[in-house]
Amino acid sequence: MSSSAALTWFARHEIRLAWREALAMLTAGRKGRKRTAIIGLLVFAAIMHLPAYAVIGRFADLQEPLDKSTLIVITATILLAWALMLSQAIESVTRVLYARADLDLIMSSPVPLASVFSVRIAAIALSVIAMALLLSTPFVDVLVIGGGWRWLSAFGVVVAIGLTAAAAAIAVAVLLFRLIGPSRTRLVAQILAAVIGAGFVIALQVAAILSYGTLSRFAVLTSDAAAVFAPALDSLVWWPARAALGDGEALLWLLAGGLVLLGAVMAIFSPRFADTVVSASANSATAHQTPRPKAFHAGSRQQALRWKEFVLLRRDPWLVSQSLMQLLYLVPPALLLWKSFADSDAAMVLITPVIVMAAGQLAGGLAWLTISGEDAPDLVATAPIAASRVTRAKIEVVLIAIAVIFAPLLLALACAAPLQAAVTASGIVVAAASATAIQLWFRVQARRSQFRRRQTSSRFATFAEAFSSIGWAATAVLALALPIAGLISGMITAAIVAVTWMISPRRD
Amino acid sequence: MKSDVSALELRGLTKRFDRLAVDALDLTVRTGEFYALLGPNGAGKTTTLRMVAGLLRPDAGSVSVLGIDALADPVTAKQVTAWVSDEPMVYDKLTPLEYLAFVAGLWGIDPAVSERSAHDLLVSLSLEPHLHERCEGFSKGMRQKVALAGALVHDPRLIILDEPLTGLDAVSARHVKGLLCDRVRSGCTVIMTTHILEVAERMADRIGVIASGRLVAEGTLTELRQQDGRNDTSLEDMFIALVDTEAAAA
């Protein structure tokens, strides 16, 4: 096989891997669900046209010349898409750098490594672009139907920003690698990937709430202040927006710029990528610990289990950051509630649902880690301790962690409003217990590193957990404001949890 | 130190997945014996041992560990048993010493005893330079040694090992074999599956050959040769002949 044929073959292999990985995400790794997953995806894409119409249908008629506010909104939307693509690309690059089993095979093959990694970088760009095209299709469709064929150029903009996002991700990962070393790069890159996408939306929402008292990020973008600080109408900054509106020249420049950027990154980093990968593979995390083995047998067998869970949680900042990320999304609604009702008596009450919801979500994540995410299942299963006591010890870990995190908040609340603190505490206990129970009923054996994919193993459990947290949050606030409604809400939520139990693969 | 008391007694042990994995298996291993369980891939060795260790519930049959009914009283049976799988499962974020301390905590071992034992075990397995390093950077062989040390730290009376030498270098393999032989000499019982027939030939007091979930031959090397009708045949030749015969019969 010639060198170019080998590279073509390798490119096909990369695309096939990316496709199968995407499929595995959709089917939760279960065989025989490929057709259902594809049909489900198509139905989902069709349904997505409705919210897409609701969100951007009114922009379909936009014509040049555009005012600054409109350009800002379009540019910010493109920037958001870029941030999400960057997030996905960083995650892909991290996987390429650290997926050791795959790399051993590739790096031992008689193919020039620079070429192989060029293909792999291109594959990252391709998968990022493909995903973005898939998600943007309903939106672009709505614009094309409402505003004409010119909007098809929006697909070109997606491709262009996908190219630059992949290039930026590779540059960021390799630079991080050089600056902070292999082991820290993995952690920082994973946290960056998680924070970038969410951070952009949350920051805009927080800014909107603080400035205009609304959850809508458009409030900031369409404000006079934003228009004053924005560049002039003929600035290059607006080229992506103009390209999306059908400006062919701007689109060509964008595509060319994206390709040149990715090409430059491939030329600069591909030869070094192999060295970086070798360093990452060879990196043995030799984190030395202060000896603390005594703590494991300071008490009962359950205490040893509890201590183990706490140590594992404390030593894995990535997992902790992933769990706490869920809380980040609660910041904007909490801020909005606080700001909306700051001058009324209801202000204090409205903090209750946010806290209860956060407790439920956090408990769900922690419960998965302790109950399903057991890295040495055989050891625990062969230990002379009853399975029920193992489960109880793990549940205790979740509840202790929730208690430690929320106790300071409750104490502060108790000083200001004792009754509300009591109701909030009850809500936290019930929400955390429900989320933990759902994780227990739907438990599967998995490695802790699979935490991010836990939601694909049972979508029913994921939705049930979310509905339960929302339900208990509503119940808590209604119990304070309108007790009868609180009772009804509590009964509905309890029914949701009961139905979840009935549907779950019940365990002993 | 051999005894007539059975360390393990299986009667009519049966397990079915998509097909019959273990077929009414009867097996007795005496206390203080080094027993090697051989068989081709998919013969039912691991399934059998996982049922003994309490990791799988049999569909039928009984499991007695040192006279304890392991199905009726699994916790007591587990107290005297250790299990080591071919895929070492240790916690990435714990150091070997912490891992062993956790195991000792699970088995309720006196810390004063287990700490010294843990240290000595890890040193004997050449892990002394890595006592305070997290396991996440360890090779498979190192992880296997940590898992093995974990199995021995609570001083079990029955040690069940599923391919314990996989991934170990020659020196480590010799250390492990030495440790296991020491345990047998001190009265412990070892049951081990292996595909390295030379290990079974040299170490085992008795050898059992399992195929299609049934015990097709059992005895000392001499007894197996007598069953084969030839005194000069190797274990490898006997094993292949037995497995071929069983496959033809199936």
pLDDT number for residue A508: 47
Are A293 and B115 inside 8 Å of each other by CB? yes
pLDDT of A251 reads 92
Q: What is the DSSP string of A370-390?
A: IIIB-S-HHHHHHSSS-HHHH
Torsion sign (Cα): A259, A260, A261, A266 = positive
On whether any CB of chain A is under 8 Å from the CB of B73, the answer is no
Q: If you measure CA to CA, which chain B residue comes closest to A374?
A: B91
Q: How far off is chain B from A139, nearest CA to CA, in Å? A: 44
More confident position, A505 or A471: A471
**Which of the residues B55, B102, B107, B148 would you substitute to probe the A interface, choosing the one with the greatest number of A C-beta atoms within 10 Å?**
B102
Q: How far is B141 from chain A (nearest CA, A)?
A: 14
pLDDT tens column, A64-110: 777 788 888 888 888 888 888 888 888 778 777 665 556 666 666 66
Give residue-wise pLDDT tens across range A198-250: 676 676 666 666 665 555 556 666 677 777 777 877 788 888 888 988 888 98
B105–A377 CB contact, under 8 Å: no
**Angle CA A416–A422–A426, to nearest 5:** 145
Q: Do A311 and B85 touch (CB under 8 A)?
A: no
Model confidence pLDDT, tens digit, residues A314-357: 887 777 777 776 677 667 666 666 666 655 566 567 778 888 98
Q: Are the C-beta atoms of residues B174 and B57 closer than 8 Å to each other?
A: no
A413: helix, coil or strand? helix
pLDDT(A128) > 90: no
Which residues in chain B are closer than 8 Å to A301, comparing Cβ atoms? 105-108
Contact at CB, A385 and B106, closer than 8 angstroms:
yes
Q: Do B98 and A304 touch (CB under 8 A)?
A: no
Can you say how many angstroms the Cα of residue B244 is from the centroid of all Cα atoms in its chain? 25
How many CB atoms are located within 10 Å of the residue A463 CB?
14
Which of A286, A293, A305 comes nearest B101 by C-beta?
A293
Q: Is the confidence at residue A455, as pLDDT, over 70?
A: no
The residue-averaged pLDDT of A442-469 equals 78
- Tell me the residue type at B103: V
- Please check whether residue B54 touches A, CB under 8 A: yes
Chain A: give the shortest CA distance to residue B108, in Å. Answer: 6
Do A410 and A421 form a contact (C-beta atoms < 8 A)? yes
Residues of A whose CB is below 8 A from B98: 289, 291-293, 296, 311
Cross-strand pairs, B60: B14
pLDDT band at A173 (very low <50, low <70, confident <90, very high): confident
Question: What is the mean pLDDT of the segment spanning B33-53?
Answer: 91
- Mutation target vs A (from B106, B144, B162; most A CBs, 10 A cutoff): B106
Which chain B residues have a beta carbon less than 8 Å from that of A302?
Answer: none
Cα A331 to Cα A84, A174, A194, A299, A409, distances in angstroms: 19, 32, 16, 39, 15
**Between chains, do A296 and B81 touch, taking CB under 8 Å as contact?**
no
Which two tokens mark A80? 């958001």
Question: Is A316 part of the contact surface with chain B (CB cutoff 8 Å)?
Answer: yes
Three-class secondary structure of residue B165 per DSSP:
coil
Q: Of chain B residues 76-115, which have a CB less than 8 A from chain A?
A: 76, 78-79, 81-83, 85, 89-95, 97-98, 100-109, 111, 114-115
In this prediction the pTM is 0.69
Other C-beta atoms lying within 10 Å of the C-beta of residue A272: 14
Which residues from chain B sit within 8 angstroms of residue A315, using beta carbons? 93, 134
The 10s digit of each residue's pLDDT in B135-169 is 888 888 889 899 999 999 999 999 999 988 877 88
Question: Torsion-angle region of residue A283: left (phi > 0), alpha (psi -120 to 50) or beta?
Answer: beta
* Contacts with B135 from chain A: Cβ below 8 Å: none
The answer to whether the beta carbons of residues B155 and B117 sit under 8 Å apart is yes
- Measured CA to CA, the distance from residue B150 to residue A292 in angstroms comes to 17
Residue of B93, B107, B116, B163 to mutate for A, most A C-beta atoms under 10 A: B93
Enter the tokens of residue A282.
């060879």
Q: Could you report the predicted ipTM of this complex, rounded to two decimals?
A: 0.77
Nearest CA in chain B to A297: B105
Residues contacting residue A124 through CB under 8 Å, at least 6 positions apart:
A89, A92, A93, A96, A166, A169, A170
